[in-house]
Amino acid sequence: DGGITQSPKYLFRKEGQNVTLSCEQNLNHDAMYWYRQDPGQGLRLIYYSQIVNDFQKGDIAEGYSVSREKKESFPLTVTSAQKNPTAFYLCASSLRGQVDFGSGTRLTVV
Amino acid sequence: AQTVTQSQPEMSVQEAETVTLSCTYDTSESDYYLFWYKQPPSRQMILVIRQEAYKQQNATENRFSVNFQKAAKSFSLKISDSQLGDAAMYFCAYRSAHISNFGNEKLTFGTGTRLTIIP
């Protein structure tokens, strides 16, 4: 079945550590996105990529980094510079108006 | 920049009744898309309904319909015959259709409305 896989579902890290969230899609979609979800704030765009080896900052990119070395993969690194990293992170991909979402990763930093 | 506003953080409705969720947006663009997404407790985002701004006719999907008022920049969702499975967070979202955004389907979301169904 085609879809988007985010792993792990739950992630715990100590404050000050970088952590990488995985997002893989087998839909042959060109574009991929990372959104952050906080209670009462909806989803906010962190980074997006329209093609391999290219990506753009979204509305809240500070403290995050991404790479797009393969069409299928768009990992997100939450760095120690991100002040409030605890959140729910959703990955999405799209092609010609069809947008699909992964099931998310809940990151808790203690 | 576009903004999407959902002024109802929480709503509740009796099972089998009808409920309307509100959404307003702000944009200077003339061509765009509007969406309603459902996020159940599983947190999977599910597309409920989509509206193209150039279409005057309101979109309908089974029990779900929208009231799209382009001049007022309003996009409400009506759920008829509410069912227990409709309980979820509902997000209104905007996407530009401008040619400069071709191949880029990034969405701007509202803050969501939590819908509770009362048995």
* pLDDT, tens digit (0-9, with 9 covering 90-100), for A35-75: 999 988 899 999 999 999 999 999 999 999 999 999 999 99
Mean pLDDT of A80-107: 93
In a mutagenesis test of the A interface, which of B3, B5, B8, B106 is the best target, namely the one with the most A β-carbons within 10 Å?
B106
Q: Which residues of B touch A103 (CB under 8 A)?
A: 42-44
Q: Which residues of A touch B9 (CB under 8 A)?
A: 40
Mean pLDDT of A68-95: 95
pLDDT at B36: 98
Cβ atoms of A105 and A12 closer than 8 Å:
no
**If you average pLDDT over every residue of chain B, what do you get?**
94
Of A31, A40, A90, the CB nearest to B45: A90
Please state whether beta strands A76-78 and A64-66 pair in parallel, antiparallel, or not at all (unpaired).
antiparallel
Q: Which residues of A touch B109 (CB under 8 A)?
A: 35, 42-44
Of B23-27, B53-57, B99-103, the poorest mean pLDDT is in: B99-103
Of B42, B105, B112, the CB nearest to A94: B105
Of A13-17, A103-107, B34-38, B110-114, the poorest mean pLDDT is in: A13-17
DSSP B58: P
In a mutagenesis test of the A interface, which of B38, B43, B44, B48 is the best target, namely the one with the most A β-carbons within 10 Å?
B43
pLDDT higher than 70, residue A25: yes
Per DSSP, the residues of A44-62 read EEEEEEEETTEEEE-TT-T
pLDDT at A1: 63
Coil/strand/helix, residue A82 = coil
Cβ atoms of A7 and A105 closer than 8 Å:
yes
**If you average pLDDT over every residue of chain A, what do you get?**
94
Q: How far apart are the first and last CA of chain A?
A: 36
pLDDT higher than 90, residue A29: yes
What's the Cα-to-Cα distance from A26 to each of A4, A70, B77, B99, rounded to whole Å? Answer: 7, 11, 32, 27
pLDDT at B86: 98
Chain B nearest-CA distance from A110, in A, is 23
Q: Tokens 């739950």: give the residue.
A: A10
pLDDT tens readout for residues B34-90: 999 999 999 999 999 999 999 989 999 999 999 999 999 999 999 999 999 999 999
DSSP B45: -
- Bond prior to A8 in cis (omega within 30° of 0): yes
pLDDT at B105: 85
- Using a CB–CB cut-off of 8 Å, the residues of A that contact B are 30-31, 33, 35, 40-45, 48, 50, 58, 88, 90, 92, 94, 97, 99, 101, 103-104
Angle ∠(A66,B112,B45) on CA atoms, nearest 5: 55
pLDDT at A98: 86
